[in-house]
Amino acid sequence: MRISKLFGKTQRETPAEADTVSHQLLLKAGMISQLAAGVYSYLPLAWRVLKKIEAIIREEMDGAGGQELNMPVLQPLELWQQTGRDKAFGKGMLVLSDRKERKLVLGPTHEEVVTSLVSHNVQSYRDLPLLLYQLQTKFRDEPRPRAGLIRVREFIMKDLYSFDADDDSLAQSYDKMLQAYRNIYARCGLPATLVEADSGAIGGKDSHEFMALVESGEDEIIYCNSCGYAANVEKAQSIKDGVAGGKPLPVEEVSTPGKTSIEEVAGFLKVLPSHTIKAVFHVADGKLAFVVIRGDLEVNEVKLKNVLRCTELRMATEAEVKEAGIVAGSASPVGIKGIKVVADDSITTGVNFVAGANKPDTHLRNVNYPRDFTADMVADIARASAGHRCPTCESKLLSARGIEVGHVFKLGTFLSEKLGAFYVDASGVSRPIVMGCYGIGVGRVLAAIIELNHDNKGIVWPLSVAPYHICLCPLFMENPKVVAAAESLHDELEAAGMEVLFDDRDESPGVKFNDADLLGIPLRVTISPRTLEKSSVEVKRRSEKSPELVPVEGLAARLKELIEV
């Protein structure tokens, strides 16, 4: 490919809208162009990278026994109503009307469609296990697209759906996918860490995410260096060290004028925050929930949402709290009535807590569960954080940030039951198919690769996904020898099956070198009068500083070596 003909120009200045490295470099390199919030065109260079990532994914999916298919983008809303997941996705699902006023959605994912499809085509255990996958554009009306290709509304996703006869078989399919995913990331030059995850709107039981550890990532990961425990903070657990025991003492009312926050109350009464109980208020699907947790801990809203089995959860407003007759700052589960109380299990791990008294400027000492109050639900709803102790080995937990580049779920049978995907087992009994699903955001993988493979000059593509292997840079184009040598090398290398980006522009060396660096082509071949004097050219790896001089005759062979390593 000649750069003079390449669609998509590099820019000298970084577009102002971007503040994430991958976003900046993609725009600056002329690889993507935004059409609307979270909606991008992929220009030829980015598209080539994307196709390479897709090819790696296809190989690994096929290798694991997957069969590729293609499904509709437009899906009847009724299909989603059958599984109830229209509610789980809520406004994230874009609903359209056709000319007959029939409601269709732009598919945010394809479990419903594929399950329905499978229900018509699978009747027997002999048809299982079955692995189907797609590489398609999906649309989710994200509330806030951001960071270029990392969080978009329209995106290309590989989704594989597994169909098994039972849980054991599902476990095998799941493991097979985990291995395939590890292969994919390794081949893409993208180190990805497996972490436990919450299944969110997709639903299901077990779930794991693959995280590319990057400071700018939007997810927080809690992990343990000694035993390898790692989980998304949404899911992560930690040991809630019990506070000193002792005998429950009688409840005692104390005056705490003007003290409302945990720090103030604890400081005033000279107790640790972990000896207090705090109350926070959430609205779950429109209903107020009174949430109780030990004072030193924070509520994990994802866990809370799961416990409450609600689809929408938010903090209550001051007005809502007031309206419910709650005294903010001194709220207490003691004596509360008519509101659902959800307690973190941490409140069962100590005695003689300080809690609110439901009276202004007043708190209670020596509050004990369940002597003094009860909860409608007691569960782990606390947010694990760095410094807490590991739930499996008790070492100190650490925290890191990451980009979610893959997410796998054991779905179970809830979709197959609702959509009638049953099979007949060996003994003639009809059973629901056990499902799993396994997604990778291809554009996000591309962006994550850049996040982890760049320097101050630009992108440093791993060879496996680079848009081209070689950037051929002739300098001093008015010199006929240079042009002749470049043209002939270009033809020779392409004929040898190498992917060459030929900088045939009449630009100064600085411009060519800077563009080659920005575009991140792994190998740069420089041809100039100076190198031709020695019948040689210069070969430089993008990832290294110094070039090597290679004789023109040996160039193709040398490059082949470098590419095939």
Minimum CB distance to RNA, residue 375 (Å): 22
Minimum CB distance to RNA, residue 311 (Å): 9
Cis amide leading into 462 (omega within 30): no
Q: Are 31 and 50 in contact (CB under 8 A)?
A: no
Q: Cα–Cα distance between 197 and 302 in angstroms, integer?
A: 11
Collapsing DSSP to helix, strand or coil, 126 comes out as helix
Q: Which positions from 185 to 214 touch RNA by CB under 7 A, shown as an x/- string?
A: ---------------xxx------x-----
Q: Which positions from 381 to 420 touch RNA by CB under 7 A, shown as an x/- string?
A: -----------------------xxxx-------------
Helix (H) or strand (E) holding 35: strand 32-36
Q: Is 34 in the site for RNA (CB under 7 A)?
A: yes
User: Contacts with RNA in 489-548 (CB under 7 A)?
Assistant: 506, 508-511, 513-518, 526, 528, 530-531, 538, 540, 547
User: Contacts with RNA in 444-483 (CB under 7 A)?
Assistant: 444, 457, 475-478
Q: Is 54 in the site for RNA (CB under 7 A)?
A: no
Pairing of strands 67-68, 130-139: parallel
Binding residue for RNA (CB under 7 A) from 2, 9, 322, 371?
9
Q: Which is nearer to RNA, 212 or 327 (CB)?
A: 212
User: Contacts with RNA in 10-29 (CB under 7 A)?
Assistant: 10-20, 23
Q: Is 67 in the site for RNA (CB under 7 A)?
A: no
Q: Cα–Cα distance between 168 and 175 in angstroms, integer?
A: 11
Q: Which positions from 134 to 173 touch RNA by CB under 7 A, shown as an x/- string?
A: ------x-xxxxxx---xxx-x-x----------------
Residue 465's Cβ-side half-sphere holds a number of Cα atoms within 13 Å equal to 30
Q: Cα–Cα distance between 203 and 123 in angstroms, integer?
A: 25
Binding residue for RNA (CB under 7 A) from 412, 439, 467, 522?
439
Q: Cα–Cα distance between 266 and 288 in angstroms, integer?
A: 27
Comparing C-alpha atoms, which of 73, 106, 71, 72 is closest to residue 89?
A: 106
Minimum CB distance to RNA, residue 508 (Å): 4
Q: Is 267 left (phi over 0), alpha (psi -120 to 50) or beta?
A: alpha
For residue 125, the Cα-to-chain-centroid distance in whole angstroms is 34
Q: Which is nearer to RNA, 278 or 444 (CB)?
A: 444
Minimum CB distance to RNA, residue 19 (Å): 5
Q: What is the DSSP letter of 466?
A: -
Minimum CB distance to RNA, residue 266 (Å): 25
Minimum CB distance to RNA, residue 326 (Å): 21
Binding residue for RNA (CB under 7 A) from 443, 467, 520, 522?
443
Largest interatomic CA distance in the chain: 98
Comparing C-alpha atoms, which of 49, 108, 16, 105 is closest to residue 437?
A: 108
Q: Are 134 and 71 in contact (CB under 8 A)?
A: yes
Structure tokens at 48: 């080539």
- Stretch of residues binding RNA (CB under 7 A), selected from 3-11, 335-343, 422-430, 551-559: 3-11
Q: Which is nearer to RNA, 334 or 445 (CB)?
A: 445
- Stretch of residues binding RNA (CB under 7 A), selected from 7-15, 99-107, 267-275, 359-367: 7-15
Q: Which positions from 86 to 105 touch RNA by CB under 7 A, shown as an x/- string?
A: --x---x-------------
Binding residue for RNA (CB under 7 A) from 53, 113, 440, 500?
440
Q: Which positions from 338 to 377 touch RNA by CB under 7 A, shown as an x/- string?
A: ----------------------------------------
Contacting residues for 129 by C-beta, under 8 A, at least 6 apart: 162, 163, 164, 165, 169, 172, 173
Q: Which is nearer to RNA, 45 or 147 (CB)?
A: 147
Q: Is 179 in the site for RNA (CB under 7 A)?
A: no
- Count of C-beta atoms within a 10 Å radius of residue 218: 13
Minimum CB distance to RNA, residue 162 (Å): 15
Q: Cα–Cα distance between 51 and 29 in angstroms, integer?
A: 18
Minimum CB distance to RNA, residue 216 (Å): 8
Minimum CB distance to RNA, residue 358 (Å): 28
Q: Are 462 and 187 in contact (CB under 8 A)?
A: no
Structure tokens at 483: 């042009």
Pairing of strands 523-527, 470-474: parallel
Minimum CB distance to RNA, residue 270 (Å): 33
Q: How far apart are the first and last CA of the chain?
A: 23
What are the angstrom distances between the C-alpha of 471 and each of 204, 467, 486, 498, 501?
Answer: 47, 10, 11, 11, 5
Q: Is 37 in the site for RNA (CB under 7 A)?
A: yes
- Count of C-beta atoms within a 10 Å radius of residue 74: 10
Total residues interacting with RNA, rule: CB under 7 A = 74
Laid out side by side, the sheet with 536-541 consists of: 500-502, 470-474, 523-527, 536-541, 548-551
Minimum CB distance to RNA, residue 540 (Å): 7
Q: Which positions from 214 to 253 touch RNA by CB under 7 A, shown as an x/- string?
A: ----xx----------------------------------
Collapsing DSSP to helix, strand or coil, 159 comes out as strand
- Stretch of residues binding RNA (CB under 7 A), selected from 9-17, 350-358, 381-389, 493-501: 9-17
Q: Which amino acid is at 227?
A: C
Minimum CB distance to RNA, residue 320 (Å): 14
User: Contacts with RNA in 273-332 (CB under 7 A)?
Assistant: 301-302, 305, 313-314
Q: Which is nearer to RNA, 217 or 356 (CB)?
A: 217
Comparing C-alpha atoms, which of 474, 455, 494, 477 is closest to residue 538?
A: 474
